[in-house]
Structure formats: C-alpha cells, structure tokens
Chain A
Amino acid sequence: MSAERTGEAAASGPALPRPMVAARDAFGQALVDLGAADPRVVVLDADLATSTKVSMFAAAYPDRFFEVGIAEQNMTSIAAGLATMGFVPFTSTFACFASKRATDQIRIGIAQPRLGVVITGAYSGLLAGKTGKTHQSVQDIAILRSMPEMTVIVPGDAVEVRAAVFAAAEYGAPIYLRLTRDPSPVVFGDDYDFRIGVAVTVREGADVTVMTTGLMLPRALEAADTLAAEGIQAHVLHVPTVKPLDVKAVVEAAERTGLVVTAEEHNVLGGLGGAVAEVLGEHRPTLMRRVGIRDTFGESAPNDQLLQKYGLTAHDVAQACRELTATRR
C-alpha cells in the first residue's frame, strides 16, 4: 500500500510557498557527494558540462570525468565499456540528444547486456532555456520506456533528483534519468524515502486522482489547492518511476476515486499517460484525461508562455479534473 509512503501530509490549511531549487543544481551536487562515497562512479560529458552541472563533478574528480566532445554516440558506447570494467558511469547530455542521437548505442551497448549505466537527460520537456523545438524533449520517455531492460525515472523536485541519483548508482541495471533545467518548487522533505519503482501518495482525496511525473507534481498540487476551494478533493499520486510502473499503486489510486488525470511535461503519447492507460485498461478500466503535450513539437519562448500555450499549467490540470468530475453529475 503506497499510503504509508506518503511524502507530504495531506494539505490542511493554506499552503506555504515552496522554496525553489533547480534540479540541475541538485543533480550536480548529488553527483559530487555520490562521487565521494562511491569510487566506482564516473561521469561522461558531451560538451554540455556547464549547462547540465556535471562540471561540478569534473572539478571535484577530474580523473573520473571524461569529456568526449560533441559525440553522443561515442560517449554512450564508451560508458558501456566502462561499465564492463566495473564502473558506474553517468552519461550527461540534453534529453533530446540522449534519447535520439544515441538510441542504438543505448540498445546494443547498454540495454541488451543490461549494464548499470545511468543515462541522464538534461533540459527535458519544454523548459530548455529558450532554445526551442530542437532542444526541447517531448519524446524521450516514450523512446526509453519502449526499450526493454530500461528503467525510466522522472524526478519531481530537487530532493527527488538527489535521491534518484544515489539510488541509480546502486541499481546495477540501465536507467534513464530525466532531468530539468530551471528552478522549481521543492515538494519533498529531507526525510523523503525515495525508492525506484514506487509511486507516492502526496495528497489524499476522494473525488479524482491526479497522477504526476516530473515537474507536473508541484503544478498538480497547486491545482489540488484550487480544486479544494471548489469542493473537489483531488488525490495526488506521484509516479517518479514511469517504468517499471507501480501497477498496484496506480490501480489502487484509480479505484479510490474512479477518475484519473495524468500529468506530464511530455507528449501524451507513450509517456506516463500512455503507461497508466495501458495498465488501467487491463486491470481496472477508468475514465481518464491526459494532461501533456498534444503530439506536437514546441517552440522557443519564455517558460510561462510555453506552459500556458501547451497546456501544462496548474490550471490545465484543474480543468481536466473538473471535466472528469462533471461526468458524474
């Protein structure tokens, strides 16, 4: 039962503003601390170290940092070779490149032999620092989720990023770790007990379930506050591991309210929404709405405008919940 793994008490009283921390900063610091604890950890970069913040690891452990230049395929296969020698490699580039430029290298070199390589995808989703559709990543979850042997982790805040980095190093099998660029609200406390493959109930409610992954978590919590004021109690199940999906938690959360909204900063095809629909379709058919990018590429613009245009705000989540609950009346 996932209720015992509740990360945050159900909202009671007005929500305090959450501190903002960029996942990439948390990622860089986590790698530095992990590197101190685990000498097997090595980091590979394809000329984006200052953007992804693996530069912090490079400064701390120059002999365990490999800069391969702008060559993502080479980087990925080199990581495979290092893993066969007993190291725990983290590769680092943008999510768009990690998932597409080196897909075959991931398949043959890492997934098929089931090597413990952590493929990190920075700047995922639409918030890629005004770089537009070439650098945004709306397909990476779908691509890596369809890769046999691959585990896909999409942290929802800086605390979860840090926990996922440490858990990934111990995992011993291929992981895709999806990261983000800009400051986002911190949701979890320092005592948060992250586990790969486990979904967490972040808020209890009886009327509609919102399942989130990545940065849609704080947006969904904001939506839940709004809905509560309207008399709709939203249950929020956060799903940091999109694959393997926590089937039990997903089915239970769907049964609890009978209505499910999924929310992800990714194409509605093949990501969390797809994964949940597949599972519920087999185990417990449930009326759903998928909040996400509607099978389109993005564009370059300020973050808030992108989230609005592509339907990824707290308002969009709340609206999907309203539509679903309205079907009951």
Chain B
Amino acid sequence: MGSDVSHDEVARRLRRRTIDMLWRAQAGHPGGSLSAAEILTVLYFGAMRIDPTRPDWADRDRFVLSKGHAAPIYYATLAERGYFSPELLTTYDELDSMLQAHPFVGLPGIDTCSGSLGQGLSVGIGMALGARLKGSEARVFVLLGDGELQEGQVWEAAMAASSFGLDSLTAIVDANRLQLYGTVESIVSLEPLPDKWRAFGWNVLEVDGHDCAALAAALCAAAAPEITGRPTVIIAHTTKGKGVSFMENSVEWHSAAVTDELRERALAELVSGAAS
C-alpha cells in the first residue's frame, strides 16, 4: 500500500476526482472510467512496483491503458499516487494541457499513447519482450475494455503473447458488459470469453472487479511460479458507471456531459458510498 487509507476509500476518491474533471470539461467518458476505479487502485496502490518520484526508473512495472477513453480516472490515479499535483487535474481536456482527452506521453507516469482501441496489448508485449531482453524483473499490466476485445489486433496479440511465453504480462479486462452503442452481448458476443483466452494459451482468472481484495489476490496469483511461461488475463466483472446510481449500467453514460446538478448528486453519493 502506498497510503494508509483503505483501497475502497482510494477508489471513492478517484471517482470523485473523475466526476469533477468530467464536469469541468463538459466532456469525457464517465461509465468506463468509474468501472475501473478498483482495478486502478489495486494496481497503483498495491500490485505495481513503482516509484512516483522516479517515473523513469528502468525496472519499474509498466501499465498500458489500452481503453484510453478511461483517461480521467487514470489521471486521477496518477495524481493520487503522487506522480503530479492533483491541481493539474483541473486542466483535463484543455488547450496545451498535458492531460489530453486520451493518454499522451510526457505526463509523468505515462509510457505510451492510447485512444484508438485494440492496440495496447501489443504495446504491452513489446514492453514485456524488452524487459526480458534486458533481464529486468518488470511486470507489464494492460487494461482493456470488453467491447475493445472485438478488435482483431487484440487476438493477434493474445496469440503472440502466449507464443512468446510472456508470463510477466497480465491483461485485465474491465468486463462491464457495455460498449458505446449497447451491450457487448447484443452487438458482437465474446462468449465464452474465458474459454477464448484459454484457447489462446492464457492463464485465466475471473474476479469481482469491485472487490479490491479479490483483485489484489488475482494480481498476485498472476505472478505465481506454477504459471511460468504463460501470460495471465484477469476478467474483472464490473458495473459500468459504478458508484453513481444514475450512471450505473447505462449506455447513455458511456460518454455524456455532467451538469452542475448531476455533479452534486454524484458527489453526494460518493461521499456516503450510497450506490456501492
């Protein structure tokens, strides 16, 4: 833990910061940001070997936000973890800001650009291959959306990662069952998803993506010696918009502007934790 407060409290703070950023910008993606709060919390306040004072430390673990539209909560996480001042969050999506709508290199803690879905797992493979070539212990974590798995490149990467035997690579699927225009199941089904990953040579774990202890255990299990030579995917079952009742499970809140009134309501829920 990089902090004394509980994971749940960190996740709540990330959600509050996210709502504020989206409200200020009057743009962005609430649903897919909120569903990833616990995943990012457990990674950045537990699983990852990182040092915010040395963002360029050669042996640091790497993180790729393949679902780049969740940038707001990613920025909130980096700020909360101490990579830069939380005051910078107020510049999200503004002209000349380092906090672009989708992640861009240059902001401390960010190693790669994303925003065009489907590419991050491949980038993670490159990082894991590079770490192996250098004899570095660095692990690589890649966060994907479930809708994103419809991109063919993800499966090119899935084949290659197991073929290269990249056990230092962990993919996490934010499986919130919604994409932009509807449910993943109704648009193009991924099922049976765990079997698909297994067939591609991956070690597959399934967890409740809002249960911090379960997530932490899965991230630990992904590094277990008995899965040497195989990458791990954690299918994290989540709720899109989690933590704000009127955003939960709602396609409308994939991307929508937060009004003054709805901001107040959301923040009130996130103080009490009413919806969770």
Contacts and interface: CB of A to CB of B under 8 A. Distances in A.
A107 B126 CA distance: 17
- Interface size of B as a range: 20 to 34
Interface string A25-62: 00000000000000000100000000000000000000
Interface of chain B, main secondary structure: helix
A87 B133 contact: yes
B113 A78 contact: no
B165 interface: no
B133 A79 contact: no
Given A69-B159, A77-B153, A78-B125, A109 B134 contact: no
B122 A84 contact: no
A71 B112 contact: no
B14 interface: no
A108 B105 CA distance: 11
A272 interface: no
Contacts of A85: 126-127, 130-131, 133-134
B126 A108 contact: no
A73 B62 CA distance: 21
Contacts of A104: 116, 119
A77 B104 CA distance: 15
Given A73-B153, A109-B119, A112-B104, A81 B127 contact: yes
A68 interface: yes
Interface string A71-106: 101101111111111110100000000000000110
Contacts of A83: 126
Contacts of B124: 81
Interface in A243-295: none
Nearest to A82: B126
Contacts of A109: 112-113, 119, 122-123
Contact of A74 (B114, B133, B156): B156
A297 interface: no
Given A108-B113, A108-B116, A77 B133 contact: no
B115 interface: yes
A111 to B, nearest CB: 9
B112 A82 contact: no
A89 to B, nearest CB: 8
Interface in A216-239: none
A42 B133 contact: yes
Contacts, number: 105
Interface residues of A, number: 29
Nearest to B142: A81
A81 B157 CA distance: 12
B69 to A, nearest CB: 13
Most-contacted residue by chain B among A74, A87, A107 (CB, 10 A): A74
A113 interface: yes
A171 interface: no
Contacts of A66: 129, 164
Contacts of B111: 84
B104 A113 contact: yes
Most-contacted residue by chain A among B58, B113, B122, B129 (CB, 10 A): B122
Interface in B126-179: 126-131, 133-134, 152-153, 156-157, 159-160, 163-164
Contact of A71 (B64, B123, B156): B156
B15 to A, nearest CB: 27
Contacts of A78: 122-123, 125-126, 129, 157, 160
A80 B126 CA distance: 7
A63 interface: yes
A113 B130 contact: no
A64 interface: yes
Given A74-B125, A77-B123, A81-B128, 5 more contacts: A69-B160, A74-B122, A78-B157, A81-B126, A113-B113
Interface of A: 42, 63-64, 66, 68-69, 71, 73-74, 76-87, 89, 104-105, 107-109, 112-113
27 contacts: A42-B133, A73-B153, A74-B125, A74-B160, A77-B120, A77-B123, A77-B126, A78-B129, A80-B112, A80-B123, A80-B126, A81-B124, A81-B126, A81-B127, A81-B128, A82-B126, A82-B130, A84-B62, A84-B126, A85-B130, A107-B116, A108-B114, A108-B119, A109-B112, A109-B122, A112-B104, A112-B105
Interface of B: 58, 62, 64, 104-105, 111-116, 119-120, 122-131, 133-134, 152-153, 156-157, 159-160, 163-164
